[in-house]
Chains A and B, each alone.
Chain A
Amino acid sequence: MSIIYVLIPIAMLFVLVAVGIFFWAVKSEQFDDLDRQSVSILFDDDIKQKPSESSDESTPR
């Protein structure tokens, strides 16, 4: 049972790290536009195929 004297402080450290990450996320404006981020993965997929396409298209213009 006395192991909790070690484990609880370790758990506290974890919480401290989690809080740190949360503060960093809020300060770097990650919560400002929640609608956008949830779907951005759809678009990121096709950026890879796009450079060839768009460079073809942009030259004649």
Chain B
Amino acid sequence: MDALNCFHCGEPVTTGRQFETLIDNVPQPMCCPGCQAVSAAIIEAGLTNYYKYRTEPGSKQTALVPEALNAFSAFDLKEVQQDFVHQDLHKDKQSASTSLTIDGITCAACAWLIEHKLQHLDGINKIAVNTTTERAQVSWDPEKLKLSEILAQISRIGYQAAPYQVDDEEIQSKKNSRKFLLRLGLAGFATMQVMMFALALYSDYFTDLDVEFRDYFRWVSMIFAAPVVFYSAQPFYFSAVRAMLSGRLNMDVSVSIAICGAYIASCIATVSGQGEVYFESVSMFTFFLLLGRYFEQNARKKASISSNNLHKLIPLTANLLDVDGNQTEVPAKRLKVGDLIMVKPGEVIAADGDIVEGMSCVNEAMLTGEQMPVTKNITSQVYAGTINVDHPIKVQVTATGQDQLVAEIIRLQEAASNNKPKVALYVDTISNYFTWTILVVAALTYLVWKHYWPEDAFWVTLSVLVATCPCALALATPTAVTCATGLFTRLGVVARRTGVFEKLPKVDQVVFDKTGTLTCGSLTLRETKKFTQRFNQDASRDVLAIAAAMESHSIHPIAKAFAPYYQTGYRLDDSQYVAGAGVQAKVNDTRYFLGSADFIRQNTGLTAIDGQHSVYLADNDALLAGFTLSDTVREDAKATLATLKEMGFATCIASGDTSEHVEQVAREVGIENLHKGLKPQDKLKLINQLKDEGKQVVMFGDGVNDAPVLAGANLSVAMGSGADIAKNSADLILLGDQLSRFPQAVRIAKMTEQIIRQNLIWALGYNLLIIPLAVTGHVLPYIAAIGMSASSLIVVANSLRLLKVRL
């Protein structure tokens, strides 16, 4: 059979042509009800052009859970809104505005889609979606439209939106980067002009230029170079002053001295009509340096924005019960220890507490990374952030705010990340020595020349400063890192910290968490075994359809595994769920039982159960089928592991899971070394032990429980679909969840390291060669300028080679 791909998200369709949407009068296959609902909503709104112009497939949709939509209503509470909604009072009409982060934007067509879908809503004043930052700025009329409705509309076409708070740091960095762009642009314009006049002035060496015109060109150059020196180059002066005040020397010190010295000297030469001018060197030098820094800053800004997008405001609300049993909805931060709260199925538990009434299953994936829900009885502890799966429970709050388990884990993570050894950048150390050397050499040159040939002393010293300008040295690392960051972006790898390019080439030990990294992190049906001949040839289909019908009202992860097999024509009545065990219900008037071996035994008295499957289906008289559910291994896991082994990495699994499944996954991907049943502390211990053995450890993880471990490893990698907190503590994020990107990233980092080394060797070599010549007064001004520019250009060109790498 041909592999069928979902028209919306591009993933393979495993369920046949069960879900279809009519797009441009052609029925297109969809992989799941989620994608089908989203594409239908897009077509219904008349936005077919999205499919025509998009350049990337949409993001995969999980079926919309009605409970998740209800959660939006919390954003309508006044107390929650005051944190992020701004009320603008115009003359006659009211309007509120807020910023939303939007998950799932893959290309510009998404932005268009969201804007057009929302513009049709009554009450929207303005909406602007920014694809780079994955954010939207919305302003609306609160009288006509609720914020929850806006969020619901966005989720209907397949994006998850949530308000967020911009932190001061980001506002500041945005302001800075705009100022930087202004400085850079101005320097660019001025440099072009000054270079033009410089060309005319250089011709003076070959043919005679009238002194009158020469002076005129010099004056014009001086005027054009002035804004560059006084405005564009400011960041270097500030940085130099800051460094000197704190008793250090950095490259900006010699950069500032060179810029100011050359400009002042050139001005003197212009006014007095004697000596040489260096206006073009000054402007070009400034422009190149700014360009390098601008790229560097941009890459860093992008990283800070995407990590800020994770700071979504999650207004956990709780149903507070008073003495009479009345419920009121209150924000979670107002809960106190001892309060009684009601948690309905599908709701997120708002605070740590003990169950006082009811029993249910709780999905603790957010804490442990395991999707299998844990059964909770009266007196069991439940934790904030976990999801109640099947029955309403009453919880007595035992901890709030900073005392909760989640907060504890975050603290553990912070402590671990503070222990990281500070990796000093190459250039910081080199530039310190280099600057000292240049300054000392320049000072000595001045003293010696002053003593013997006083009239030339100033010019020779200046040519030392210009010719040995650390331009190439300053550009060596940032340009290479910028190009590599660009490559990473193309691959879908986000480098969140600056040290990544130094650490990646050194690592030699990879530790994988199992769930969510090697596996997809959601249950799927792996095997169906039927025990009865009663059904006709199509038997496996039928038992599956019965099971799917029985689970159709549940949001349990097991139910999700059956959802693709749902067929119409199976009527469900009288369903009863037993937490952590199973479900019994009538399907088409026959009573069936679906659940664990114990559940079947207790309810039907059947004993011939082999115990090899995770879920069984039975009716009153016979066992019908057994289903094996498991977490599927990621498609590219095996190939990636093979590549890693080839590259000389040692690999191992560190999983919190205790079941057989760990061995199974390990066998499947080819990892021999495995540790199972590890708590977060044990994982941290394992990592530290490996580090003590002299290994450089990379940790892959995705749950909240992995956060401290991620922070403890030399380098950490999180999956794009993982928990937000894991992403916040990771050095690298693999968007699109493709493991195979990691070995590629290592290769790029190795290449980057090589190119940085070449750049530094070249820059230092050039300077070592030119210093003796400059000191002895053998470097003519135009040779100094050409040499300086050429050495920078060579460094930039060498770094650009990285962009040509084909992977």
Instruction: Please give the distance in Å from A22's CB to the nearest CB on chain B.
Output: 5
Whether A10 is near chain B, meaning CB under 8 Å from some CB there, is: no
Our count of residue pairs bridging A and B at CB distance below 8 angstroms stands at 71
Which among A23, A27, A36, A57 has the highest number of chain B CB atoms within 10 Å? A36
| Cα A5 to Cα B212 with chains together (Å) | 11
Within 8 A of B (CB), among A1-48: 1, 4-5, 8, 11-12, 15, 18-19, 22-23, 26-27, 31-36, 38-40, 42-43, 46
Contact with A along B34-58 (1 / 0, CB 8 A): 0000000000111001000101000
Check A40 against B112 for contact (C-beta < 8 Å): yes
Within 8 A of A (CB), among B95-134: 107-109, 111-112, 120, 129-133
| Cα A37 to Cα B380 with chains together (Å) | 55
Check B120 against A58 for contact (C-beta < 8 Å): yes
Whether B216 is near chain A, meaning CB under 8 Å from some CB there, is: yes
Check A43 against B112 for contact (C-beta < 8 Å): yes
Check A57 against B182 for contact (C-beta < 8 Å): no
Residues from chain A with Cβ under 8 Å of B224 in the complex: 12, 15
Choice from B131, B178, B189 contacting A36 with Cβ under 8 Å:
B131
Residues from chain A with Cβ under 8 Å of B181 in the complex: 26, 31
Check B216 against A36 for contact (C-beta < 8 Å): no
Residues from chain B with Cβ under 8 Å of A19 in the complex: 185-186, 189
| Cα A33 to Cα B174 with chains together (Å) | 13
Residues from chain A with Cβ under 8 Å of B531 in the complex: none
| A40-B112, A43-B112, A57-B44 known; A26+B132 contact, CB < 8 A | no
Whether B23 is near chain A, meaning CB under 8 Å from some CB there, is: no
Residues from chain B with Cβ under 8 Å of A26 in the complex: 178, 181-182, 185
| Cα A53 to Cα B130 with chains together (Å) | 26
Whether B798 is near chain A, meaning CB under 8 Å from some CB there, is: no
Say what secondary structure dominates the interface of chain B.
helix
Check B131 against A35 for contact (C-beta < 8 Å): yes
Residues from chain A with Cβ under 8 Å of B133 in the complex: 32-33
Residues from chain B with Cβ under 8 Å of A42 in the complex: 53
Instruction: Please give the distance in Å from B708's CB to the nearest CB on chain A.
Output: 36
Check B132 against A34 for contact (C-beta < 8 Å): yes
**Minimum CB distance partner of B185 in chain A:** A22
| A35-B131, A36-B108, A39-B53 known; A4+B216 contact, CB < 8 A | yes
**Minimum CB distance partner of B192 in chain A:** A15
| A5-B216, A26-B178, A39-B108 known; A33+B193 contact, CB < 8 A | no
| Cα A17 to Cα B683 with chains together (Å) | 62
Residues from chain B with Cβ under 8 Å of A27 in the complex: 178
Check A4 against B213 for contact (C-beta < 8 Å): yes
Residues from chain B with Cβ under 8 Å of A11 in the complex: 193
Choice from A12, A31, A34, A36 contacting B111 with Cβ under 8 Å:
A36
Chain B residues with a Cβ under 8 A of chain A: 44-46, 49, 53, 55, 107-109, 111-112, 120, 129-133, 178, 181-182, 185-186, 189, 193, 213, 216, 220, 223-224
Q: Told that A12-B220, A40-B108 touch, could you supply 18 new A-B pairs with CB distance under 8 A?
A: A4-B213, A5-B216, A12-B223, A12-B224, A15-B189, A32-B133, A33-B130, A36-B129, A36-B131, A36-B132, A39-B55, A43-B109, A46-B49, A53-B46, A54-B45, A57-B44, A58-B120, A61-B44
Instruction: List 6 contacting pairs A-B, 8 Å CB cutoff, sorted by A.
Output: A5-B216, A8-B216, A18-B189, A22-B189, A35-B131, A36-B131
